[in-house]
């Protein structure tokens, strides 16, 4: 069995040769989830990481008051669930399929066997974890100190840099609703509507129902870092 291109091209397998990918294909297990179906819940034991072949997964966490905080939306080729696989701790967040989704699961036993033969995979996973930590530190700063315009700009840039959605002739098309964006930005839907209108007038993006096309990520960075 060959790995789908979306899985073989993920960061986990960067620099791994064809033989290694063939061995990895034997270790990975395809799983299907319907819209709204949980992949795992916060507090559960974690025994696998997941790579998205197709579909969309949201990563969220409930605060003590029961309010859901959206952490990320992930699409094809993205990896999640790796932290519990590495340290054996319970899941710190909940992963839910937003639409019909196919994942490839790498369970702990197969993971340790695989990295014994291909240490490069362990190195790649360490890079992924380091990138997650940097993003988390930056996000804490933004959500603590930035006003609403900066929060919305940051959420859009985060999706853009993660190559969420698809590339277009003018930029990148992000397929998400204003409600989803407001959850990511930690602000109200009304605020997101107002800020998107401002960004559209400035030529940074266009916004229609269920999708936002980013034309000028540099302009969004100027908002975030007060360089306008």
pLDDT given for residue 209 in this prediction: 86
What CA–CA distance (Å, rounded) separates 156 from 159?
Answer: 5
169-198 per-position pLDDT tens digit: 999 999 888 999 998 888 899 999 999 999
Q: Is the pLDDT of residue 143 over 70?
A: no
Residue with tokens 């309010």: 67
What CA–CA distance (Å, rounded) separates 38 from 58?
Answer: 10
Q: Is the pLDDT of residue 145 over 70?
A: no
Q: Left if phi > 0, otherwise alpha if psi is -120 to 50, otherwise beta: which for 33? A: beta
Contact 69, 182 (CB under 8 A): no
Q: pTM for this one?
A: 0.81
Q: Is the pLDDT of residue 55 over 70?
A: yes
What CA–CA distance (Å, rounded) separates 17 from 165?
Answer: 28
Mean pLDDT rounded to a whole number for the chain: 90
Mean pLDDT of 20-25: 94
Using pLDDT thresholds of 50, 70 and 90, give the confidence band for residue 136.
confident
CA-wise closest residue to 176 among 196, 194, 150, 149: 196
Give me the residues paired with residue 206 across strands.
213
CA-wise closest residue to 59 among 135, 144, 148, 171: 135
Handedness of CA 163, 165, 177, 192 (dihedral sign): positive
Q: Is the pLDDT of residue 47 over 80?
A: yes
């Amino acid at each position: 069995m060959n790995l789908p291109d979306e899985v073989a091209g993920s960061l986990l397998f960067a620099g791994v040769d064809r033989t290694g990918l063939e061995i990895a294909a034997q270790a990975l297990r395809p799983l299907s989830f319907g819209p709204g179906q949980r992949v795992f819940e916060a507090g559960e034991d974690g025994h696998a990481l997941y790579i998205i072949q197709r579909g969309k997964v949201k990563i969220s966490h409930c605060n003590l008051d029961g309010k859901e905080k959206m952490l990320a939306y992930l699409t094809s080729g993205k990896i999640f669930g790796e932290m519990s696989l590495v340290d054996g701790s319970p899941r710190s967040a909940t992963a839910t399929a937003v639409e019909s989704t196919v994942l490839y699961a790498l369970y702990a036993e197969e993971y340790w066997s695989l990295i014994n033969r291909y240490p490069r995979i362990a190195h790649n996973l360490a890079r992924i974890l380091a990138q997650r930590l940097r993003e988390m530190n930056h996000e804490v700063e933004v959500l603590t100190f930035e006003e609403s315009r900066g929060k919305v700009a940051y959420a859009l840039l985060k999706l853009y840099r993660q190559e969420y959605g698809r590339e277009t002739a003018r930029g990148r098309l992000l397929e998400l609703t204003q409600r989803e964006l407001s959850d990511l930005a930690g602000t109200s839907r009304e605020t997101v509507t107002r800020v998107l209108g401002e960004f559209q007038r400035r030529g940074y993006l266009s916004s229609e129902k269920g999708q936002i096309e980013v034309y000028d990520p540099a302009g969004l960075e100027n908002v975030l870092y007060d360089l306008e």
